[in-house]
């Protein structure tokens, strides 16, 4: 399947079903180019569960469009590895919904850089739990 994926153009990537995406292995996801990752639609991104999100490498995850990131379920957000979050830019962190921010684990919050924390909106800051704030202080 990986060689098939690498041969698809970006228009064809947008046609992959959520069922197909859910069934991809780590080698299949590794076959995606940055352009192909960016071609994923918001609906496709929203369909990605925790397992799928964990199979996407950090370089690929760093090119996710902000609207695609904000469409991820809170279960998918909780499943993100700290290196995946660290690969995101400040604009991407700032695009997370308040529900996504409150779902971040303390370990994930501790891994955020100062630029990421400064990118949080007042709404996002307002939903941080005491444990999340404590993780920032100890980071």
Residue with tokens 């397992």: 51
Q: What percent of the chain has pLDDT over 70?
A: 98
* pLDDT over 50 (residue 139): no
Dist CA 112 CA 5 (whole Å): 32
The model carries a pTM of 0.92
Which tens digits make up the pLDDT trace of 18-52?
Answer: 999 999 999 999 999 999 999 999 999 999 999 99
Range of the domain at 127: 2-138
- Rounded to an integer, the average pLDDT of 121-138 is 92
The structural domain count of the chain equals 1
Determine which helix (DSSP H) or strand (DSSP E) holds 37, and give its type and residue range. Answer: helix 34-39
The C-alpha torsion from 57 through 63 and 66 to 69, rounded to 10°, is -10
């Amino acid at each position: 399947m990986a060689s098939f994926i690498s041969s698809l153009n970006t228009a064809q990537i947008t046609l992959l079903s959520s069922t197909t995406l859910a069934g991809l292995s780590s080698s299949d996801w590794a076959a995606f180019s940055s352009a192909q990752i960016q071609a994923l639609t918001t609906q496709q991104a929203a369909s990605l569960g925790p397992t799928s999100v964990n199979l996407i490498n950090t370089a690929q995850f760093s090119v996710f469009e902000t609207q695609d990131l904000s469409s991820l379920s809170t279960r998918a957000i909780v499943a993100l590895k700290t290196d995946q979050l660290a690969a995101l830019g400040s604009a991407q962190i700032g695009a997370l919904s308040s529900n996504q921010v409150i779902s971040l684990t303390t370990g994930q919050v501790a891994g955020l850089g100062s630029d990421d924390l400064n990118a949080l909106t007042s709404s996002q800051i307002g939903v941080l739990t005491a444990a999340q704030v404590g993780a920032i202080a100890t980071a």
